[in-house]
Chains A and B, each alone.
Chain A
Amino acid sequence: MTHIERDHTWPEISFQDRMDTVRFDVHERAHITVDGRTCEGCSTQACVVACPANLFVPTSDGGIVFNYEQCFECGTCYLVCNEEGAITWTYPDGGHGVVFRRT
């Protein structure tokens, strides 16, 4: 069984700088909402690891805080979420959300 564990010598930029390379036209309506109370009993909290935009933040009391503004609208969170109904997922209002340019 190989498991790649190596020193990351690559000079990584901060996650905020990484997200700053992406353009978002944020709408005032949150298109994804998370019921933090449901998350308190969640043992996996898979969304925290899997969300490529790192928008799910675990809180000290076991819940989840979610920010919708820099969302890629990819769907990973609701796909990995095993708590029925914890994530309410819609697309942002037309014309808003992520705008890719060189992808």
Chain B
Amino acid sequence: MPETPDVDVIVVGAGPAGACASIELARAGLQVVLLERGPFPGSKNMYGGVVYPRILDELIPNWWDEAPVQRWVTRRSTMVLTPTQALTVDFRSTAWGAPPYNGATAYRPDFDHWLASHAEAAGAQVLCSTTVVGLLRDANGRVVGVRTDRPDGDLRARLVIACDGVNSFVAKEAGLHPPVDAANYTLGVKETLALPKEVIDERFGVRGREGVDIEILGGTGGVNGGGFVYTNLDTIAIGAVLKLPKLAAQKRRPEEIIAGLKAHPAIAPLVEGAELKEYSAHVIPEAGLAMMPKLTGDGLLVAGDAAAMCLAAGIWLEGVNFAMASGMYAGRAAIDAIRAGDVSTAGLAGYERRLSETFVLRDHRKLKRAPHLVLSDRVQHVYPELITSVAERMFRVDNPEPKPGLRRIVTSERKRLGIRRRDLARDGLDGFRSFG
């Protein structure tokens, strides 16, 4: 005789995925326990800076009136760096500074805590300071609950949703992940630096709650990855995303790479004199579709970073929105499955169907080549110099020499840097197929 479940659904991890799954489930009248290993939701979470919350329209109407947002991103820059040069594409939109907004900077300990409070308000039991250490399974291997690190710590449920983050020991224990390959991961390191709000406004050219998000290619000290700078109300966040095997091979410490970024002539004036308030680090599932686990098992769904739902595609760097959406769809699929009385892999097929119909998997499929391309050696170490030196020659007035044509500049710089035309064409095509 199988033991009776204590609750309908256990959600592991009270980040954006777990909170959104719990909101859906609790609102449908199901009994939900949301387990969080930190002392409060968000206490273990850190990211590279911007949340795009439009998916919350479906869960929390007018979320912008209550979400703990630092600034609304109204200025979005992409910067290409070499040691002495910088080329920036800088976009501004006043539309992004008014409802329904676009991106926002927010502290995750604030944002995730707020989102989980909605799960609690909907009727989910949120239990913090509780680490899940294993899965309970029946004789057929179906997941029937979790084991926590508390005494008398087994909890049974009809269904478990694993939203336990990038290291997801739950999904790994269930055998849903392929063998771990460090090349699929990057390390994000960040400094939160304090400056008076007026100084931030002045340096970044913004007012009120307007904010800036700068994504950087190059400047990571020879380690494949990227950098970022963005504004909170009275702090600046600066950090780097570093490909793990390269980081180890280059023998450069993460904090040295941030220091190098801060010393760059294009960045230094932005962060000068700021006081370090918090240093942080987190691993990112960078490879997208290439590393995605099976999303469904018997009695088990996986969402958020645990399912590698993180889009690291160069000009688009998103994660929290994918976590919120995958959690929400996992919740909906779970409701259907429990009502139909079938929580097997087949009964939970509605999850992957929903993901495939929406941006969650469609973006990942469309951009499946992008993570690899963006972190490739040519994009990382050769093209930044090509781009900046072409710009330098375009804008340089070399009188009495006449102006050279763009095509001549590109060809001569390409040859100077030893880039084969074939590689450039292939990468261009790859880029077009990904981003076009």
Interface residues of A (CB under 8 A from B): 1-10, 12-13, 15, 17-19, 21-22, 25, 44, 46, 49-50, 52-54, 72-76, 79-80, 90-95, 97-103
Contact = CB atoms under 8 A, between A and B. Distances in A.
Q: For the complex, would chain B's binding face be called helix, strand, loop or mixed by DSSP majority?
A: mixed
A101 B111 CA distance: 11
Contacts of A12: 259
B421 interface: no
A100 B260 contact: no
Interface in B30-54: 37-39, 42-47
Nearest to B267: A10
Interface residues of B, number: 68
Interface string B113-154: 000000000000000111101000000000000001110000
11 contacts: A1-B381, A3-B381, A10-B263, A18-B276, A46-B248, A50-B254, A52-B187, A92-B131, A95-B39, A97-B44, A100-B109
Nearest to A45: B248
Given A50-B187, A54-B253, A94-B37, A2 B281 contact: no
Contacts of A75: 166-167, 185, 283
B95 interface: no
Nearest to B184: A79
B228 to A, nearest CB: 13
Contact of B282 (A2, A4, A72, A97): A72
A94 B150 contact: yes
Counting chain B CB atoms within 10 Å of each CB, the highest count among A4, A22, A25, A50 belongs to A4
Contacts of B82: 2, 4
Contact of B219 (A4, A5, A44): A4
Interface string B374-399: 00000001101100000000000000
